[in-house]
Structure 1
Amino acid sequence: MTDSTAGPDRATTVAVPRTALVTGAGRGIGRHLALGLAEAGYDVGLVGRTRARLDDVAAEIAERTGGARTVVAAAADLVDVTAVADAVARVEVGLPGGIGLLVNNAGVIERQDLPFAQDDVEDMWRVVETNVRGPMLVTHAVLPGMLARGGGRVLNLNSGSGYRALPSYTGYAISKGALARLTTQLVRQHGDAGIRALDLAPGVVETDMSRSMPRYEGRTDWTDPAEVVALAVAFADGELDALTGRFVRAGADTVAWLQQHAAQIVEADARTLRVTPLTPDDPIA
């Protein structure tokens, strides 16, 4: 039996506070997202390991918005359940109306570009733990407030590697596949309670992490961070709620295209993790 994660009952736009918690907000894509959301009128919670970097982003938001946005910074190790609970509690209290949008952005990748048999298992596990345990802990801490208010949105920064195999970076691919399943689980279990979730692949944005990867050495064709921000803001604004539980990619998708094709995507049950039956009477159907 096919169980679409974005059925008509779950495509309804929910009203949530114009607030956002962004993990990994001190640099890279997280910084771009925090700045972009603030400039779009969102009050923002900044969470990451290094308080000094979060403070720098908070100061930049204040400068760009003329101090019009509330900003709450909370440093935390995102694989530490106590630290996460404390950081989320501070952001929840500090943002007007609580957390309306969670952006699970923080993540890492292996130190070497190697196939599984040659790579270090401990390093691969470090990646899996950071990229899966972190979003699980933060989302679990944020959900009670969202559910009590009747809804909320969770944006998981994913990757094409969560949906297709890679020749290397095994831990990263495993972690992003697990994150994609978390997205569908949230919608399946809490969609009727107003939770919307989306996988957003940012493309190849120029960051410290992407510059460290041998495969991108000498690359000049980077994804514009503004394209990532545009999709994130559209989701935050409820413009992509029809695609809850599904996958979009900056640098390829635009908000207008996704809105135009949303009904077709849902009808085809596309852009989501699924084992495709061979025929309607296939035993897995």
Structure 2
Amino acid sequence: MKIAVIGSANADLVTKTNKLPKPGETLIGESFFIGEGGKGLNQAVAASRIGGDVNFFGAIGKDTHGEFLLESMKKNNLKVKNIKICEQIKTGIANIMLCDGENSIVIVAGANSKCNIEYIKSIKEKILECDIIVLQLEIPLDTVEFIINLAYKNNKKIILNPAPAIKLSKEIVDKVSYIIPNEHEYKVVLHTENAMEKELEKYPNKLIITNGENGVWYFDGKEVVNIPAKKVKVIDTTGAGDTFVGTFAGAIANKFALKEAIEFGVKCSGISVTKLGAQGGMPYLKDL
């Protein structure tokens, strides 16, 4: 089954430090590197590395960061013929501060804001050639809603990672096949104060909540199930959630049962945090 990932592509500007600066404070960092990122691109790469047939749709600038990302997409075997390259706006970036394995991130959307409905209409036939549609919320919300409606009408499987978290309409939530927030995001997305278990029971085999080192939770129609995370030495958690979503999509494309697909995603996500960078630790099939 073919996977379409539609979403953001960023250059990650990563600074590693042993302490996060307070307002007005200047610190000496330990190291710096530029990596590939953006939730859309991360998820596309994660799915491709475990053998997925992945088309990536999104927007980058005609600049050095854009060239860097495009080259990386090709190295990761993504189909990128329909990427939008913008002349007047720069490639999106994420400023990432790494400290003790955790991260603080500031994103500037840049060209990602041009992943708009007009662009989607121009490539919709290419999107509809795919069986599974993977989305996040780092591109305009009206674009995401347009794609979900389009995919739903055409009987596609839709995987939505609602991050950064914003309140979504019941209509949109009802139309997606799987919705994958983390333990904080689900309350915002579903505008609820319910405990996790109670909310999961409202969306059997659909709402999948990631919870870091506590693994992943879902309701199978009879009971709330926890798929525990493996204990590993954590180097960098950037991209762990994206690794889960991308490899889960790859497993669904390979017709894994839901529990097996979640277990597979959890295993891949656990491997991803053992190296630096959003994509640095994403496993290849041989690593499993």
More strand by share: 2
User: How high is the TM-score relative to the length of structure 1?
Assistant: 0.44
User: How high is the TM-score relative to the length of structure 2?
Assistant: 0.43
More helix by share: 1
